[in-house]
Structure formats: structure tokens, C-alpha cells
Structure 1
Amino acid sequence: MPAIPRPAYGPGSRYTARAATIRPRPTQRHADIAALTRHLTNRDLWLTHMLHEHRVLTTHQVARLAYPSLRSAQRRLRTLHQHAVLDSFRPLTQTGSAPEHYTLGPAGAALLAAHAGLDTYALGWRPTHTGRIAYSPSLGHDLGANELLTHLAAKAHISPSSGLPLWLSERSAARRWGDIVRPDAYAHWRDGDHLLPFFLEYDTGSQPLPRVQAKLAAYAAFATATSTRPALLIHTRTQSRDQALRHRLTTTARELDLNVATSSADFTTTSPWGPWWAPLQPAAHRTTLTHLATQWTNLSPASGLEPTDADTALTLPVPPLPPAPQSCS
């Protein structure tokens, strides 16, 4: 099967963040949060929640989820940046140039904190928030996972019966299940009547194979402790890494009775729902996420998804897509 050409940035690219340029902001306007809210749409508010949940999204990722075109996304994101609702930076790449990367800005953090009855310190936001993300060694990993999942979520724009009705970040997953497993994300892929609940391990190749193998025991322990069985999707950067993982993990997955499938960015760059996923068993053929849901009849969503008294507006899941267009200006 031929591989899709490697992109200039994102999953599968030769992407690094050895340096970054922070976009300067004009004289700040609407420092008064009450005044600022008159200029914000429901879609803008949704975006602040998404950036609090997922930390960083590129212009292309935001446009994919929430805007009819890249140009319209750029215009609105620039306005939100000028009002300090968002911060942004642009990392250095080995070739070409990266898109603008957006994070939660000071006004956006203050807005979320006000809605939750907190201060920005309790929210976890600091003035160094954007700089820490821009220079984080995990930036490429986080963006790669977000790239994969934004493509899955945005499928609903062209096929309303498909998409991600639920997408939890690494941090939200750790809050719920961190004493047993710490996936890079948890999500539900739906296609018509078929549902694939899954944990995502986004593998960049930086961890040794035995360490990845050791994670399978934790997922088996989760299934035993909770009596629920989400699938485990392992996404790797290259097909060669995929093959190395499959050689190492197949026996372990069978012994632990886990539903595991793997793929790589050599295939899933723009259509990760497609026939790129191979179940972790000998001589398995690549198939779609929907077919995995029909093939694995014993799957069930993870426990701990129901709201509790301990939840707040900032710990409940954020819808992967913004409010309907008629709700936005």
C-alpha cells in the first residue's frame, strides 16, 4: 500500500520546536472582561474551553473544527489575539514554516475563571503559559495527537452521522483514570449506529519498545477494575516503527485479551478514519475504525464519564465541535 506524502508539519513530519516566535500584540483592548464578553460569540467561548482542555491548537486545526475556510479562521483568530483572549506563537521547523499555534491568553483565562467562579491561579493559567507550551519538549507529541483527533471530529462536517461525540485530553483522562492508566487521549468514534470507544497512545518513537509494551498491562488492569472495555489505538510516526511495535506487542495483547490496533502517520495524515488500522494479531489486514467497532463486539465505553458533584464547568467534557452556526454570529 503506497504511503501518503509526508506533510510539512504535524504528525509524520520532521517537526521540531527548537525555537519559537511569540506574536506581538497591539495595545490591549477590552481589558474589562464584562466589556469583552459583548464582542464574543458562542464559538469564541467554545474555543477558550477547547484551548483550556487541549492546551494548543494550530490555525489549521481550529479552522478544521469550527470555520468554513482557513481565511475566515485566520481573521477571527487574529481578532481574538488582539483582544488577548488568545496568545499565539510560531515554532521553528526544519523545513518550511509552521502555522500559527494558539493557546489561551490572559483575557481568555480571566473569562473562563470568571465563569467558573475562580481566579486564574486556581484555573492553572500563568503569565508564562504560552512560553512553557512553545518550548515544551512534548509540543510535537501534543500537536500530533490533536491533529489526528481534529480530523476525526471534523468528519461530522461532511458526514453528519460520523465523528467524535466525545474527546478527552490527556489531562482529563488522567483526572479520571490516572491511578490506573494515562492515555494520550480518550474518545468515541461514531459512524451511524457503530461506536468505537478508544484510548489513544500517540507514539512518536521516543520511548523504548519495552516501555510501550509495559503500558498494555495497565490497560488490562483497567478493564478488570472497571469491567469496561474500550479499544486501544496506537498511532506511530512511521510504518517502520509501527512494524516494530506490532512485532513486540502482538503476543502480549493476545495474552491480556486486549483489543488493540495500530497505524502510522504514513497513512492517516488526512483521513484517520479510513482503512489504515491493523488489529494487533498475526496476518491482520488494515481496516477502518468503523469496521473495528463491528469486529470487536465486546467493546464498551470507559467508566467514570458521568458527571459527579466534584465536576465544574471546567472539568466537564468540551464538545469537539462548536455550537451550531445559528448560535454564533
Structure 2
Amino acid sequence: MPALPRPAAGPGSRYTARASTTRPRPARHTDVAALSRHLTTRDLWLARMLHEHRVLTTHQVASLAYTSLRSAQRRLRTLHQHAVLDSFRPLTQTGSAPEHYTLGPAGAAVLAAHAGCDLADLGWRPSHTGRIAYSPSLGHDLGVNELLARLAARSRTTPEAGLPVWLSERSCARRWGDIVRPDAYAHWRDGDQTLPFFLEYDTGSQPLSRVEAKLAGYAAFTTATSTRPALLVHTRTASRDQALRRRLAAPARELSLNIATSSADFTTSSPWGPWWSPLGPGDTRRTTLTSLAARWTPLGSAADLEPTDADTALTLPVPPLPPTPDAGT
């Protein structure tokens, strides 16, 4: 696949990590038509992923699309130099945060050209990266993306397992916002078992009563659409997990919802593992996502996933992994 021309100077020409504020870029961005000829299918996939999921770290991108962290850093810096991507590094109390990548001005222009729409219709603004960097929901959004990126990347080492479908909060709201507004919707697949699920990523900032109130919407969704996805509730700590379980057990039983909970104390490196505890009745011991799929039958994928005439190239689900590997980039 063709590679972007490497800049003669600046971070795109070498592999040293720099904060985004120290990365000079040409004042005039590369012509979109000329740039498109140099972007690989993986570059275009990444631009669509960032349009869909807003922000991904270097490590998340590497796990999804590259054979090594070094090769990911090399390409990401080149894409940043050509304004396909923007980036920032949040301040941390200790150590250094990884680079956080967002859709840049040239990347947004390329996506708009591919979709046949104006840049304004894309929803991208010059303040796009700043709004994300200073958003109070940044930690929440990164937590959602980290959990699901690990599930999606599983298929790179275990081909029979992975995440063939992953919709962002924004895509979920566009499809089902009048009934439910989950933090994500996805399908976990392992062999012949599939677990379609909504994700509620709980950071502990909401009172337990507000989390409980969301269950009525999921029950209404099942009734209105005649589909039955599971609901996974992920929390920050095991103690918060236990508090939620005590609060949600009775309403989950009354509403006949398939709910399992877990926390970052367990799922940090392998969220597909035996860390998910179903709410009763029955065995509530922690188990895997694959075992939940086998236990909860019949489950069904959420409605409104098939393309319609109202869909555009930018509203269709983005494959969680690049469509094809791009050698040499």
C-alpha cells in the first residue's frame, strides 16, 4: 500500500514522542484529493474509528491494528504531521499519559469527501480536540473504549473469538435514544457462541438509584423491539460492584433482564475471562462472556442494525478491526 510522504523535518520524520503542543504542522493542510491517494485502508479505517469513538490512545490503536507499538507510533506521528489526526496528552499526577488521538482537520475533510457531505454535516469543528481533551467525561469514554478495544483485539491472537460489532454511545443514541442510551453496544463472539450486549460503564459518579432507574428502559427496549440483548454493567471497584448488585438484583428479576456485573479490579487485562457475575436467579459465581452466552438463551441482537436508506457511509457500523492488513505501513 502507498505510504504518506515523510516530512523533511518535525515529529513525522523521527520517532521521538512529543506532546501535541510541540508538534509543528504546515499552516496549510495537504490537498484532500492528493492526500487521499496516500492514505491506506487502515488509515481510513482509523479515521472512521475516531469519528465513531472520539478518542483512542496509542496503545489502543496498536492493539487493534498494528503488529507492534513502535510501528503504530511511527504511523500515528506521520498521520498527525499531515493533520489527519490530532492528539493531546492529559496531565497526570505521576508518570506520563500516552498520546490520545482524535480526528484531525484533514482526516475530517477526507471522511466528508468520502461520504459526499460538507464538513459541517460531519459534526467536526476546529475545537473538536479541545472539547474532548477538557471534557469531564474523558475518563469515562476512555474506560469504555479500553474495555471494548481489548475485547476486539482478542481476535488477533484467538481468531475464533472477538468483537465483530461495536457501536459507540453516539451511534446507540441515534438508533435507540428514545428508549435507551447505553454507553456502547457490541457482540462478543467465541466459536458458535454470540453474546449481544449493551454496556453500562459505571464510574461511581452517579447514585445507585439513577443506575437502577435505567433498567426500566432496557426492559421497555426488549418489549418494543422483541429483541433480547444482555446488559453488562462494569464498575470501577469491587466494592461498587457489590453495592450495585445488591441494588439491582430485585428489579433485574422483576423485569426479566439478563444482567452481569464486573469491575476494573478484575477485567484490566482480559475482560473476556471469568470475571462476570450474573444477577440471580441461579448460579451467580463469576464466569466468562462465552459462558454467559451459553447460559442466557435465547438472546437476540438489538433491532435496527441492518443498513437502511437513511444510513450514510458515516452512520454504518465501523468494523472494530481494519478490513485488511496493510503491509509496510
**CA 50–23 in structure 1, closer or farther in 2 if over 3 Å, else same:** farther
Residues 95-145 of structure 1, C-alpha deviations (whole Å, 9 max, x = no match):
221100000000000000011111111100000000000000000000000
Distance 2:137 2:156 in 1: 30
| Distance in 2, Cα, partners of 1:23 & 1:256 | 53
Question: How far apart are the structure 2 equivalents of 1:185 and 1:305?
Answer: 13
Q: Distance in 2 between matches of 1:166 and 1:327?
A: 24
SS in 2 for 1:164: strand
Shift of 1:94: 2.4
1:248 aligns to 2:247 (yes or no): yes
| Corresponding residue of 1:275 | 274
Q: Which residue number in structure 2 is paired with residue 207 of structure 1?
A: 206
Q: What amino acid does structure 2 have at the position aligned with 1:250? A: A
Q: What is aligned with 2:315?
A: 315
**Could you say if the C-alpha distance between residues 259 and 315 of structure 1 is closer, same or farther in structure 2, counting changes exceeding 3 Å?**
same
- CA distance, structure 2, for counterparts of residue 328 and residue 290 of structure 1: 35
Q: Deviation string for 1:8-33 (max 9, x for gaps)?
A: xxxxxxxxxxxx96453332575201
Could you tell me which amino acid in structure 2 is paired with residue 299 of structure 1? L
Aligned counterparts of 1:69 and 1:36: Cα–Cα separation in 2: 25
User: 2:266 and 2:187 mapped to 1: Cα distance?
Assistant: 21
Cα distance change, pair 23–197 in 1 and its aligned pair in 2 (3 A): farther
What fraction of aligned residue pairs are identical, expressed as a percent? 78
Q: Which moved more, 1:305-314 or 1:33-42?
A: 33-42
Structure 2 residue matching 1:244: 3-state secondary structure: helix
Q: Return the letter of the residue paired with 1:271.
A: S
| Distance (whole Å) between structure 2 residues aligned to residue 91 and residue 326 of structure 1 | 30
Shift in Å, 1:38 = 2.1
Contact 1:237–1:265, Cα closer than 8 Å, also in 2: yes
Query: Could you say which residue in structure 2 is the equivalent of 1:75?
Result: 74
Between the aligned partners of 2:327 and 2:73, the Cα distance in structure 1 is: 20
Corresponding residue number in structure 2 for 1:114: 113
- 1:210-268 per-residue CA deviation (whole Å, 9 max, x = no partner) reads 00000001000000011100000000000000000001000110000000000000000
Residue of structure 1 in register with 2:238 after alignment: 239
**In structure 2, distance between residues paired with 1:28 and 1:156:** 40
Instruction: Kindly provide the amino acid, as one letter, of the partner of residue 38 in structure 2.
Output: H
SS at match of 1:246: helix
Q: Which residue is equivalent to 1:289?
A: 289
Q: CA contact under 8 A between 1:42 and 1:327: conserved in structure 2?
A: no
Superposition deviation, residue 178 in structure 1: 0.2
**CA–CA separation in structure 1 for the residues paired with 2:150 and 2:224:** 32
Structure 2 CA distance, aligned partners of 1:121 and 1:328? 34
Counterpart AA for 1:57:
L
Q: In the alignment, is the contact (CA less than 8 A) between 1:174 and 1:181 conserved in 2?
A: yes
**What is the TM-score normalised by the length of structure 1?**
0.92
Question: Matched residues in 2 for 1:137 and 1:23: separation?
Answer: 24
Q: 1:79 to 1:131 in 2, by over 3 A?
A: same
Q: Distance in 1 between matches of 2:273 and 2:25?
A: 43
Shift of the 323–280 alpha-carbon distance from structure 1 to 2, 3 Å rule, reads: same
Map of 1:148 onto structure 2: 147
**For residues 326 and 148 of structure 1, what CA distance do their matches in structure 2 show?**
25
CA distance 1:170–1:22, change in 2 (3 Å): farther
What is the aligned partner in structure 2 of residue 14 from structure 1? none
**Where do 5+ consecutive residues of structure 2 fail to align?**
1-18
Q: Aligned partners of 1:29 and 1:69: how far apart in 2?
A: 32
The SS at the match of 2:83 is coil
Taking the aligned partners of 1:247 and 1:323, their CA distance within structure 2 comes to 42
Q: Distance in 1 between matches of 2:303 and 2:83?
A: 38
Structure 2 CA distance, aligned partners of 1:43 and 1:77? Answer: 11
Which residue in 2 is equivalent to 1:300?
300
Distance 1:23 1:172, change over 3 A: farther
Look up the match of 1:230: 229
Partner SS state of residue 106, structure 2 = helix
Name the residue aligned to 1:257: 256
Q: Which stretches in structure 1 are left out of the alignment for 5+ residues?
A: 1-19
Residue pair 1:205, 1:241 contacting (<8 A) in 2 also: yes
TM-score (normalised: structure 2): 0.92
The one-letter code sitting in structure 1 at the alignment partner of 2:315 is T
Q: Secondary structure at the match of 1:91?
A: coil
| Secondary structure class of the residue paired with 2:37 | helix
Aligned to 2:206, the other structure's residue is in SS state coil
Over the residues paired in the alignment, what is the CA RMSD in angstroms? 1.4
The aligned counterpart of 2:37 is: 38
Q: For the Cα contact (< 8 Å) 2:261–2:276, is it kept in 1?
A: yes
Deviation at 1:323, TM superposition (A): 2.1
Shift of 1:92: 1.0
Residues 158-169 of structure 1: matches in 2 within 5 Å? 158-169=157-168
SS at match of 1:97: coil
Residues matched between the structures, number: 310
Matched to 2:140, the amino acid is H
Maintained 8 Å contact 2:41/2:324: no
The secondary structure found in structure 1 opposite 2:242 is: helix
